[in-house]
Amino acid sequence: MKEKDQQKVRLQLTKELNEKLIEIGKNVINQLKVYENPNVNIPLRSLSNVYFDEKDRLLRMGNKATERTYFNLSQSKSFMQTMLVASKLREVIKDGSHVGLRQLFYMCKQGIPGTKENTFDDQGESDIIIEDIEGVLRVLREQIGIVATSKGKLSGDITLVDSGDEIDCGKLGSSGYGIPSIVEKGVVDFSKTKSEFILVVEKEQTWIRLNQDKFWKKKNCLLMTGGGQPDRGTRRLLHRLHTELDLPVYVFTDMDIWGYYIYSVYKQGSINLAHFSENAAVPDAKFIGVKMSDVERFKIPKNHWIPMKKVDFKRVKEIAAYDWFKEDKAWQKEFKKISDFKHVVEQDVLVAKGLDFMSKEYLPFKFDTKDWIE
């Protein structure tokens, strides 16, 4: 898309968002004029309103909503917070700039006259309201101009244009390309790459190790990490690279239920952000992380195993029952194996077998033998 066309799209979106926010305010004013209890319908963001779309293989949000009203003692503060955040978001949209989540919190934080109460006590409150408004407006907060802390990294043979600056991700040394919070077209653009696939690793330390070994050059791939539970920018960029450049995605995590869930987030999306899945999930992503068979095959010693905790066993049962896992025989087998094994094995342990063992032996074996879960 040409820059002039991108500008038109941005202006049209700005106009639409501004109109939607004005409409929310007008509805409240009209309700007050006829002595009705002011309210706004907020899409319900919980497991009860999330379903697994079997056709598209990703999580979607249902149509359930909750009515947030002013003349309700338990909801009056959250109603006020919703209106306050909406008004500040309109300022950001009209200004055409970006603002951080923390900065927006301080824009909204103030004392309530005649009381000892604040509009917001901590950022967690305003973050939740922002996600609520995303649902009301049916847009991503990135499109509104809200910037979050980013932690993702990328390296490999690809050139990006980030806010007008051309960046060769294969020439950024040990630090790699820091994936920004907003990676929409017009902010981050890219063209064709010679890379054949994307390897996403759970942990930043693992990414650093593989990047130092130039694994991306040896296997002709892009190397990415979300630094644990991935941030939205990392998930969104991965989705774009996969769909726009037709690059297969492989996810490498620990052998534990938390790592398995991180894979699920990359693949199907997350429950809390089901409205974001269509723009961020990669249903074709394959799991190439540590499995029980690796413990035996690569003779990982017992003193490198970590005992599972009660919360781990509980989480295994919860995740095994999710719609997107419960009919999957391969995953059900892995869940049973890890529960019976009663230990977790981290990807970091592979370095104990040699600093370059992961890049020279372990991962090449996994790819060569197609030892992954679909």
Residues annotated catalytic, as ranges: 106
Cα–Cα distance, 283 to 279 (Å, whole number): 11
Q: Which residues contact 167 (CB under 8 A, 6 or more apart)?
A: 159, 160, 161, 177
Calculate the alpha carbon distances from 8 to 85, 186, 196, 356 in Å: 26, 11, 34, 49
Calculate the alpha carbon distances from 4 to 95, 160, 186 in Å: 19, 19, 10
Tokens of 33: 């004029």
Cα–Cα distance, 297 to 366 (Å, whole number): 11
User: How many other CB atoms are found less than 10 A from the CB of residue 231?
Assistant: 17
Cα–Cα distance, 66 to 71 (Å, whole number): 15
Cα–Cα distance, 51 to 49 (Å, whole number): 7
